[in-house]
Chain A
Amino acid sequence: MHEALTLTAPSSEPPPPAPVQVSLWAGFRALLRWSLASIGAMLPLIVVIQSALAAGIVVGFGFLIPDITPDSALFLSSGAPTILLLTVGLVIVPQGVSRARASGALDFQRALPVSRPLLLLVDLVVWTLIALPGVVIGLLVAWLRYDLSYSFDWPLLVLASILVTTMATAVGFAIAVSLPAMLAQLVSQVLVFFVLLFSPITFPASQLPEWFQAVHRFLPIQPAAELLRAGIASTEFTAQGRDLAVLGLWTAAGLLVSMRALVRRR
């Protein structure tokens, strides 16, 4: 009897579900899996593009120089990885991000209960993973063509590769989220030519007019090339602290602009 009195009728309405609590690490892992799956399909294509580009730079540019000396060959070859990394970051990343913006995929992820900077971090990691084989591809092609001997400074090479990829991806991401899709596409196309033909990567900066050398002192392209070169042929080339500083500043600027665009509401 007593027991019957203490029974409470089951509530007719279940309690509302609790808000989402998800750790940064769990969110990062889930987003990484998602991003790898969606970009992963492009991976073979990107490797093909990088190989073709590497061949174009190392072999094709070699034709421009008659009776190429071992020094010139080394300069050309040690610049190839920089071009490959910059191409992925400044060209392929903005195109991918523009597409994600246009299709609503970016907004889909921005509406998720995860910290939005995490979306940028995941993209940085994934694109770095995709771009890095470019260093190996570039060096392999050059070695096949010119039979060069490299003198690697491994810690510097690893650091420079990651920093250059991060910088290029961050700047590429910033371009895609700050400009209208058409304009972003156009800017990324122009950047290919600028990197390939008008930047002291495959030739020494001293061959450029004075004023253009001055411009390149503040752009991230020459520092990227010099850092990577010093990591690839450490006995012939050295990098300066200034290179690191300029690259770091551009990386920070790219991250800042990207982060702001991800967090901001229209």
Chain B
Amino acid sequence: MDDDVLRITGLRRRFGRVLANDDISFGVRPGEVVGLLGHNGAGKTTLVSQVVGLIAPEAGHISVGGADAVRDPAAGRRHVALQPQAQAPIDGLTPRSAIEIAGRLRGLSARDARAAATALAEELDLGPWLDRRALPEGGGLSGGIRRLTGFAMAVAAPTPLLILDEPTNDIDASRRRLLWDAVRRRGDLGSGVLLVTHNVAEAERIVDELVVLHRGRLLAQGTPAHLRGTHDSALRLELRLPPRGDDPSARDPGLPVRRRVRTGRRTLLTVDADDADIAVAWAASQHASGRIEGYSLAPSSLEDAYLALTAPGGSADDVLERDVPPLEEARDA
């Protein structure tokens, strides 16, 4: 506990009548990548803003690298590098000069800052844009390159704690992979990383721990395997429903479903591997009779578990073990 690079205890913050953060506690150890998941408005950015001293908590403690970040935000900030959700203000700069400046602001010598810019350009495949100037109104550099530059600025010098708020926004698929690898590498080099994202599927590959926020509350935390459920043999049966179609799985008692989540025109069912043949036969008959437009069977993923957790009616304790009512039912209830 004591060697946590970030330790948050009982954090609470309200905006008007909305509790943006309600009694949140968790930690990040050095070398560990912790994913902070949650829908829009779950309170993720509010939490991050309190760690770097932009927002004051109402109650609770934040310790960053041993410093009390609530009492002495300036001391806390010396242990943190943040890539915020907003684009880094680099108009007028080239990615190279932006990374160099960020390195200098984090204590690198001019030579080390130059070396860091070159190395990061290599690591993130920024080379062709490295000396192109960002212009006002989004000119000069694309949103994706700006976002990568913001990431490079945050990691220009190693810091005990690295906080990344949606670092993959606007970034193309191939560079996103480079970025995820770069994030993982920062953890392996000894930084504690707090990764705020809603890209659950991709983040799963690189995080050690996950914290799920929902409407300001901590809903669940644990390793991806733990959150996915202990049954690694579980499968996901995805049903694509017709427009305004009922979910046929909701009223069929013969179907052995462990968990059901409806998102829009998709229903995600979790079934045991042993029941796969029953489930597929059922889905095929539904498809043949036109009640569903299509279906697919795949290994259960963290995204399924995450959607189940944050679905209306879900709760932290027992959601993994029971059926979550589909959206419509929950609304009627």
Binary interface encoding of chain A residues 16-46 relative to chain B, with 1 for a CB under 8 A from any of its CBs, else 0: 1111111000110111011001111100000
Question: Are B159 and A30 touching (Cβ within 8 A)?
Answer: no
Name which residue of chain A comes closest to B161, CB basis: A16
Within 8 A of B (CB), among A84-132: 100, 103-105, 107-116
Total number of B residues with any Cβ neighbor in A under 8 Å: 47
Question: Are A22 and B105 touching (Cβ within 8 A)?
Answer: yes
Complex: how many Å from CA A22 to CA B135? 29
Question: Are A33 and B97 touching (Cβ within 8 A)?
Answer: yes
Select which of B65, B101, B106 is within 8 A of A34 by beta carbon.
B101
Chain B residues in 8 Å Cβ range of A107 = 49, 54, 84, 86
Select which of B56, B77, B90, B192 is within 8 A of A111 by beta carbon.
B77
Complex: how many Å from CA A114 to CA B52? 12
Question: Are B89 and A105 touching (Cβ within 8 A)?
Answer: yes
Select which of A38, A109, A110 is within 8 A of B93 by beta carbon.
A38
Chain B residues in 8 Å Cβ range of A27 = 104-105
Complex: how many Å from CA A113 to CA B108? 13
Name which residue of chain A comes closest to B32, CB basis: A13
Q: Is the interface of B mostly helix, strand, loop or mixed?
A: loop
Q: Determine whether A265 belongs to the interface, using a CB cutoff of 8 Å to chain B.
A: yes
Question: Are A17 and B78 touching (Cβ within 8 A)?
Answer: no
Q: Determine whether B255 belongs to the interface, using a CB cutoff of 8 Å to chain A.
A: no
Question: Are B105 and A31 touching (Cβ within 8 A)?
Answer: yes
Chain B residues in 8 Å Cβ range of A114 = 105
Q: Determine whether A242 belongs to the interface, using a CB cutoff of 8 Å to chain B.
A: no
Question: Are B92 and A108 touching (Cβ within 8 A)?
Answer: no
Binary interface encoding of chain B residues 143-179 relative to chain A, with 1 for a CB under 8 A from any of its CBs, else 0: 0000000000000011110000000000000000000
Within 8 A of B (CB), among A155-202: none
Chain B residues in 8 Å Cβ range of A266 = 54-56
Q: Determine whether A66 belongs to the interface, using a CB cutoff of 8 Å to chain B.
A: no
Complex: how many Å from CA A107 to CA B50? 12
Question: Are A37 and B97 touching (Cβ within 8 A)?
Answer: yes
Q: Determine whether A10 belongs to the interface, using a CB cutoff of 8 Å to chain B.
A: no
Within 8 A of A (CB), among B170-209: 188-192
Q: Determine whether B312 belongs to the interface, using a CB cutoff of 8 Å to chain A.
A: no
Question: Are B77 and A113 touching (Cβ within 8 A)?
Answer: yes
Question: Are A113 and B105 touching (Cβ within 8 A)?
Answer: yes
Within 8 A of A (CB), among B44-96: 49, 52-56, 65, 67, 73-74, 77-82, 84-93
Total contacts A-B at CB 8 Å: 120
Q: Determine whether A209 belongs to the interface, using a CB cutoff of 8 Å to chain B.
A: no
Binary interface encoding of chain B residues 22-49 relative to chain A, with 1 for a CB under 8 A from any of its CBs, else 0: 0000000011000000000000000001
Known A-B contacts A17-B159, A40-B92, A115-B74; the reply to A104 vs B84 at CB < 8 A is yes
Known A-B contacts A41-B92, A265-B73; the reply to A21 vs B97 at CB < 8 A is no
Q: Determine whether B290 belongs to the interface, using a CB cutoff of 8 Å to chain A.
A: no
Complex: how many Å from CA A14 to CA B189? 6
Chain A residues in 8 Å Cβ range of B192 = 16
Question: Are A19 and B54 touching (Cβ within 8 A)?
Answer: no
Known A-B contacts A19-B65, A112-B105, A113-B106; the reply to A38 vs B92 at CB < 8 A is yes
Question: Are B54 and A111 touching (Cβ within 8 A)?
Answer: yes
Known A-B contacts A108-B89, A266-B54; the reply to A19 vs B79 at CB < 8 A is yes
Question: Are B79 and A108 touching (Cβ within 8 A)?
Answer: no
Complex: how many Å from CA A29 to CA B113? 14
Q: Determine whether A15 belongs to the interface, using a CB cutoff of 8 Å to chain B.
A: yes
Q: Determine whether B210 belongs to the interface, using a CB cutoff of 8 Å to chain A.
A: no
Chain B residues in 8 Å Cβ range of A26 = 104, 107
Chain B residues in 8 Å Cβ range of A105 = 86, 89
Complex: how many Å from CA A114 to CA B84? 16
Complex: how many Å from CA A107 to CA B86? 9
Chain A residues in 8 Å Cβ range of B106 = 20, 22, 113
Question: Are B107 and A22 touching (Cβ within 8 A)?
Answer: yes
Chain A residues in 8 Å Cβ range of B191 = 16-17
Chain A residues in 8 Å Cβ range of B222 = none
Q: Determine whether B136 belongs to the interface, using a CB cutoff of 8 Å to chain A.
A: yes
Chosen A-B contacts, 26 in total, with CB atoms closer than 8 Å, are A15-B30, A16-B5, A16-B190, A17-B158, A17-B189, A20-B106, A20-B107, A20-B159, A22-B104, A22-B105, A22-B106, A27-B105, A31-B101, A33-B101, A34-B98, A34-B101, A37-B92, A104-B86, A104-B87, A107-B54, A111-B54, A112-B77, A112-B105, A113-B77, A265-B53, A266-B55
Extra 5 A-B pairs, beta carbons < 8 Å, given A19-B159, A111-B52, A111-B54: A21-B107, A22-B105, A30-B101, A34-B93, A107-B54
Chain A interface (Cβ < 8 Å from any Cβ of B): 13-22, 26-27, 29-31, 33-34, 37-41, 100, 103-105, 107-116, 265-266
**Closest 4 pairs between A and B when the two form their complex, measured CB to CB:** A104-B86, A105-B89, A17-B158, A265-B56
